[in-house]
């Protein structure tokens, strides 16, 4: 339990017939503590542009000359219009990407102009900044179309806070905090009015259980996934930077720190994030930024990121690492995603017993433009605020293996350039794929035998048709098809850990995968992964299957690399310094069934599924895959 909750005395459990009613309300004494700790006036990250001394120091943290050059070029470009038709595409044909990209381009231009005017401070970018602010203020809704399928927000039936509303809110609150004087009172008041209407009022209505808040998009306050942390971060960041009264800011902080406990419950006790590294960056990154924002705004009274569990969550990506720069793309993760060492260091700074600072992060112009302005502001101003303190490091995980016992996820290294990851768990995880028993084997700078990761999101992705996708169901993972059936979806479809053993020379993890399938004839399916270190390192994955009546079995290897057969039972996957030699041994004759999986993935990459199909139905069989560097 975090320090935040320890300080919350006298929590009142509310009983109400309406589902929108809050589970808890913050204690009056707690609200008084928060209110007393908050500054008299609202504050955001950075400073008003009138503080030229501080902004001159900030300019040294970024490539200021290049930034001003790019911003000057942008002055000659017309603002991009986003027609209603683009928003409506999702509700009509499921395409969410075109609007989201146009929306991000508008935000990126806004960020660029806000930074350029703050750095230069001569008014040269003010008119363009004002025009872009007004474009955002005039948008019919800030809710993304994928979160407004029934167009309730677009058509003005109600106001909800979703991920984009939260992020735009904190962004505009930060811009108004910096540029109130240059934007002028009329525009600044419009910003604050829209922030109250679109962000603050819907949040408070939801927290108070008002019937007007009984909408379909404000479920996230008690969610245990990234929506909780991102939306609360945006709401609190907006409030702290824009609301004039301490009492109202304290009320929002009080409710938010209660709800954030639900977010932390979404991680297994060992700190594993089933949403994947990309969503750890997004969700836990916002949690860490919010916690640091609260810590500084309240002088340490409110510190959501505290305690061992939060620190285990902070270390999760480094436990998941197979090799330097190589991670398994379990769940909805882009295979190119890497963890943010900045978010890791930000978490360490908050929990370390002695004062630590944040080092400069060598931000590029593209970073300044594309990151949310509150994130880039923290990266610029935290090194200035903590100057002279030792720099906080990202969490470190040492050793030749890591085991998440609650999540049932293993990573191990057989050699400095050769390692593996194996996943158990259950098939109702956040951003779930049906992937019990899936493994990833890496060599050098890449995963060669892979989990293909997420697909490009469409309307199908988060619907009852999600598992029609061959990269989200078990067909596109390195797990068997049993009796012609794929793994099923649901919490009851789970792996069981039979045994584990970790020694300096060999690691072994045994998973019972029988429960992943609803095949009446399946008696047992046990997968054993053995990693051997030494002069001839290898990874061995062996399946032992038993049926009540003869049934079919087909294992699989998944790869984005080239492959070729070499002799009986040997497949070479990959090329050059990353090539792997894969030897197949089976108690029953088998055939190789290669198939290109035709699903849309980021970068238009298409994985190849190498099916390892037994030639005939069997009562029992053992199929072994032996992998070593070529």
pTM of the model: 0.93
Beta strands of 533-617 (E only): which ranges? 538-551, 553-559, 563-565, 570-573, 580-586, 590-596, 608-614
Asked if 295 and 356 sit in the same domain, the reply is yes
Last-in-domain residue among 333, 360, 385: 385
Number of domains the chain contains: 2
Q: Is 141 part of a structural domain of the chain?
A: yes
Asked if 62 and 190 sit in the same domain, the reply is yes
Q: What is the pLDDT of residue 208?
A: 85
Asked if 373 and 422 sit in the same domain, the reply is no
Q: Is 304 part of a structural domain of the chain?
A: yes
Distances (CA, A) of 500 to 405, 410, 513, 530, 575: 10, 10, 15, 10, 33
Q: Which of 86, 568, 103, 34 is nearest to 248 (CA)?
A: 34
pLDDT in tens, 60-111: 999 999 999 999 999 989 999 999 999 999 999 999 999 999 999 999 999 9
Q: What is the pLDDT of residue 568?
A: 87
pLDDT in tens, 541-590: 999 999 999 999 999 999 999 999 998 899 999 999 999 999 999 999 99
Q: What is the pLDDT of residue 24?
A: 65
The percentage of residues in the chain with a pLDDT greater than 70, rounded to a whole number, is 95
Asked if 189 and 300 sit in the same domain, the reply is yes
- Sign, CA dihedral 588-443-426-456, equals negative
Task: Spell out the residues 6+ positions from residue 128 whose beta carbon is closer than 8 angstroms to its own.
Answer: 74, 75, 113
Asked if 364 and 222 sit in the same domain, the reply is yes
Burial profile 14-33: b = 16 or more Cβ within 10 angstroms, e = fewer: eeeeeebbbebbbbeebbeb
Please give the mean pLDDT across all residues of the chain: 93
pLDDT in tens, 106-155: 999 999 999 999 999 999 999 999 999 999 999 999 999 999 989 999 99
Report, as an integer, the average pLDDT of 272-276.
96
d(CA 224, CA 221): 9
Asked if 405 and 381 sit in the same domain, the reply is no
Report, as an integer, the average pLDDT of 202-223.
79
Asked if 380 and 405 sit in the same domain, the reply is no
Burial bucket for residue 265 (CB in 10 Å: 0-12, 13-18, 19+) = middle
What CATH number is given to the structural domain containing 197?
1.50.10.100
Enumerate the β-bridge partners of residue 510. 499, 528
Reading the block at residue 76, the tokens are 């000659």
Domain ranges, residue 358: 3-385
Query: What DSSP state is assigned to residue 485?
Result: B
Which three-class secondary structure state does DSSP give residue 516? helix
Asked if 413 and 528 sit in the same domain, the reply is yes
What CATH number is given to the structural domain containing 466?
2.70.98.70
Distances (CA, A) of 278 to 256, 329, 337, 567: 23, 9, 6, 40
Count of CB atoms situated within 10 Å of the CB of 399: 11
Query: What DSSP state is assigned to residue 323?
Result: B
Cβ contact 592:612 at 8 Å: yes
Q: What is the pLDDT of residue 215?
A: 59
Last-in-domain residue among 385, 418, 445: 385
Burial bucket for residue 492 (CB in 10 Å: 0-12, 13-18, 19+) = exposed
Q: Is 396 part of a structural domain of the chain?
A: no
Kindly report the three-state secondary structure assignment for every residue of 81-132: CCCHHHHHHHHHHCCCHHHHHHHHHHHHHHHHHHHHHHHHCCCCCHHHHHHH
Q: What is the pLDDT of residue 212?
A: 60
Res. 1 pLDDT band, cuts 50 70 90 = very low
Asked if 368 and 417 sit in the same domain, the reply is no
Task: Spell out the residues 6+ positions from residue 320 whose beta carbon is closer than 8 angstroms to its own.
Answer: 277, 327, 328, 402, 409, 411, 421
């Amino acid at each position: 339990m975090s320090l935040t909750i320890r300080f919350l005395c006298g929590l009142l459990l509310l009983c109400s017939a309406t589902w929108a009613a809050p589970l808890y309300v913050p204690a009056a004494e707690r609200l008084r503590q928060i209110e007393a700790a908050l500054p008299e006036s609202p504050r955001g990250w950075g400073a008003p542009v009138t503080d030229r001394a501080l902004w001159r120091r900030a300019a040294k943290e970024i490539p200021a000359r290049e930034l001003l050059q790019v911003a000057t070029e942008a002055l000659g470009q017309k603002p991009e219009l986003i027609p209603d038709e683009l928003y409506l595409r999702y509700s009509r044909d499921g395409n969410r990407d075109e609007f989201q990209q146009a929306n991000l381009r508008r935000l990126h231009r806004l960020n660029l102009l806000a930074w350029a005017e703050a750095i230069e401070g001569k008014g040269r970018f003010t008119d363009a900044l004002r025009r872009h602010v007004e474009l955002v203020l005039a948008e019919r809704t800030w809710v993304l179309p994928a979160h407004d399928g029934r167009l309730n927000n677009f058509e003005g039936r109600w106001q909800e806070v979703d991920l984009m509303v939260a992020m735009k809110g904190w962004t505009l609150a930060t811009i108004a905090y910096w540029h109130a004087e240059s934007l002028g009172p009329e525009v600044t008041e419009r910003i604050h009015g829209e922030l109250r209407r679109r962000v603050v009022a819907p949040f408070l209505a939801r927290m108070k259980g008002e019937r007007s808040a009984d909408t379909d998009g404000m479920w996230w306050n008690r969610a245990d996934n990234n929506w909780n942390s991102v939306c609360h971060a945006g709401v609190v960041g907006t409030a702290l930077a824009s609301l004039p009264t301490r009492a109202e800011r304290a009320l929002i902080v009080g409710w938010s720190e209660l709800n954030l406990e639900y977010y932390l419950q979404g991680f297994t006790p060992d700190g594993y994030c089933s949403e994947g590294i990309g969503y750890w960056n997004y969700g836990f990154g916002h949690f860490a930024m919010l916690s640091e924002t609260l810590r500084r705004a309240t002088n340490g009274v409110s510190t959501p990121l505290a305690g061992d569990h939060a620190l285990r969550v902070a270390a999760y990506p480094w436990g998941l690492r197979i090799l330097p720069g190589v991670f398994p793309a379990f769940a909805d993760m882009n295979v190119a995603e890497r963890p943010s060492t900045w978010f890791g260091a930000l978490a360490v700074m908050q929990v370390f017993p002695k004062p630590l600072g944040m080092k400069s992060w060598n931000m590029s112009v593209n970073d300044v433009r594309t990151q949310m302005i509150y994130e880039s502001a923290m990266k610029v101003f935290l090194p200035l605020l903590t100057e002279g303190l030792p720099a906080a490091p990202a969490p470190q995980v040492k050793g030749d293996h890591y085991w998440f016992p609650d999540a049932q996820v293993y990573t191990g290294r057989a050699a400095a350039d050769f390692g593996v990851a194996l996943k158990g768990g259950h098939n109702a995880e956040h951003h779930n794929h049906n992937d019990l028993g899936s493994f990833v084997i890496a060599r050098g700078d890449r995963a060669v035998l892979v989990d293909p990761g997420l697909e490009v999101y469409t309307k199908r992705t988060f619907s009852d048709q999600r598992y029609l996708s061959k990269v989200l169901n078990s067909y596109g993972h390195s797990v068997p098809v049993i009796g012609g059936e794929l793994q099923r979806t649901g919490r009851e479809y789970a792996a069981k850990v039979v045994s584990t053993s970790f020694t300096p020379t060999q690691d072994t993890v045994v998973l019972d995968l029988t429960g992943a399938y609803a095949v009446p004839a399946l008696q047992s399916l046990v997968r054993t992964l053995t990693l051997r270190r030494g002069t001839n390192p290898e990874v061995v994955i062996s399946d032992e299957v038993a049926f009540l009546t003869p049934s079919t079995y087909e294992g699989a290897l998944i790869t984005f690399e080239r492959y070729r057969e070499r002799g009986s039972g040997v497949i070479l996957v990959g090329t050059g310094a990353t090539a792997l030699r894969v030897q197949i041994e089976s108690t029953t004759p088998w055939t190789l069934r290669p198939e290109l999986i035709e699903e849309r993935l980021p970068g238009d990459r298409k994985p190849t599924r190498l099916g390892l199909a037994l030639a005939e139905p069997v009562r029992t069989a053992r199929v072994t895959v032996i992998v070593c560097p070529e």
